[in-house]
Every structure is written in structure tokens, then in C-alpha cells.
Amino acid sequence: MRRTMVGLALLVAAACGAPDKEEGGPGGPGGPGGPDEFAPGEACTKIDFVFVVDDSGSMAEEQSNLATNFPQFISVIDQYQASDGTPLDYRVALTTTGRDVTYGLAIPGFPPITQTDHGDNGAFRQNCGMGRRWLERGDPDVAGTFACNAQVGTMGPGMEMPLLALELAFGDRMADGTNGGFLRDDALLALVLLTDEDDCSRKDDGFNVADTEICEGSPALIPPQEAVDFLDGLKQARGRWATAVIAGPGPGDCTSAFGAAVEARRLGEFVGLTGENAVFSSICEGDLSNALHDAINTFDAACQAFPDVD
């Protein structure tokens, strides 16, 4: 009998200590994509997962918790069956939130201090014995290898740009062949963004910023709508991609066993613009199992409603 990702998600959530969802919404009982509303017709048979993980100095605990919970996440994916009864054809890639950027850090009473950061620029990480820049069904120890690869370190740029990282990953890094071969036209693109800061995406260099204003108010910041439009164009339709953002929900900062997270206003706007194929979960719950559970439910609902494109 066909097993849905939502049903498996509830089993995995129980194992991880996550509560069952009672409210409506994508993937939740009673909402779009809930178990009672699944139609037996066509659904996607392939999903391309991409994790964008913050590798700045405050992210060690979150990366460790992602690595701890990913085996449960992948166990759900491994057991999911497409509408024809075949196992889901999935790929999993990971990049980080930083790009190469040079800017002046303004300190009152002193000339700006030049700061140069080096990031992955959207390149998918290939570590821990990986034979390519992503993992897929049939690879040995997908969960263990991803858990190793997800430990991206904390020496990355302090100016987090997850939305621009998506544009770079599927734009420049596809064009130059770095991430070539990953993206499939007939697969749902499932994006997980994990950060304890707000998005600071900008494409310019040589600017001056005050430390407290890095992500606030500059007209050079990429509008979240640009990221949505880019992904719509990439996948040819809104319903062919979905996203789960795990960040600070606001209002204001929040704290957990991981430390503090700022309110991610721009990422919240990105989720709101994406609509029903998006979910925002709090990084301040102190455990990522609930957030990954929310992600699975959202991706399952998107997979069930995956539209054809002529």
C-alpha cells in the first residue's frame, strides 16, 4: 500500500519527540495536503533537496543538531513511495549562506575597516568521501554522509546571504558547471534555509556598513520578491518548488539552547511571498526535529500537488 510522507513524518516526529500537528495548513491534518485530502492520482516522483546552512561564528550548535536529526529526516524520504509504488527518486545537496565580499566596517570615530569575507558562492559542498556534489538514493550511508557534510564549520562570512546563495547555486554555479547535473526539470525543488540571522543578500562590493545596520534598510539589499521570481523562472511555475525556512520568528530576538537568533524579517517576507508551498519554523525551539517535521509536511503537500508544465 502507498505510504505518504505525512504519515511517515508523524511516525518520525513521535520518535524525535515532536508533537503531532493539530492546526490546518500545508501538510497538517485538516489542511491542504493533509492525510484526508490526498488524491490517489499523479504526484511528483522526484525531489531535489537543497539545504542552505549558515556557517558563521554562532552556528555550531545548530549544525550539530541538524546532523543529529537528519537520519530521521532521510528515513522518511527513504520510505516514501511515488504514486506508481516505486521509491522516491531524491537528491540532497548542501551549500552555505556566504559569498566573497569586501566591504568597510564603519566604527564611529575611526575610518572604515576593510573586511573581506570568503564564502561558497552557492557551490554545493563535496566532503566526507562524496563522489559528486550531492547525495542520492542508492548511495552508501546517505544519512551519515550528509551529517558529516552538514558540519560546515563556523568560519564563514558574518554577512549571511541565503537568498542570494540560491540565485548563485542555480545561476552562476550551474552556468560554470560547478553544480551542473543536479537540477532536474521533472523534480520538485525542496529548499531548506537554516540561519540565526536575517538575510543580508546584496550583489555589490566596496560599501561601508555599521555593524548594527548590515541587514537593515539598505536599498542595495535584494528584494525577497527577486528570489521568488528567480525560483519561479527556474522551475517554470510556483508549484514546482517549495521552501522551509528555519530562523528567528520574531518579534525581536529569541533565545534557546543554541543561543540567540535575530528576527528574520526578510526571510519571513520570502516565505509569505512563496505562499502555501512555504513554512517558517523557529530556530529557537532548541531542537530541529519539529522544524524538519514541518519541512517534510510542506514538501509532501507540494509533491502531491506538483503541476505539469507544457
Task: Dihedral sign for Cα 168, 94, 223, 206, please.
Answer: negative
Across all residues in the chain, what is the average pLDDT? 82
Task: Indicate whether 151 pLDDT > 80.
Answer: yes
Asked if the model's pLDDT at residue 19 lies above 70, the reply is no
Q: Do the Cβ atoms of 276 and 222 come closer than 8 Å?
A: no
pLDDT digits (tens, 9 = 90+) for 35-45: 333 233 357 89
User: Quick one: average pLDDT of 220-232?
Assistant: 96
Q: Give the range among 204-208, 242-246, 276-280, 303-307 with minimum mean pLDDT.
A: 204-208
For residue 43, the model assigns a pLDDT of 77
pLDDT at 270: 98
Distance separating alpha carbons of residues 153 and 149, to the nearest angstrom: 10
CATH of domain 5-304: 3.40.50.410
- Which pTM was predicted? 0.84
pLDDT of residue 201: 94
User: Binning pLDDT at 50, 70 and 90, where does residue 15 land?
Assistant: very low
What's the pLDDT score for residue 310? 64
Nearest CA to 117 among 100, 103, 104?
100
Which one-letter amino acid corresponds to residue 122?
A: G
Span between the terminal Cα atoms of the chain, in Å: 31
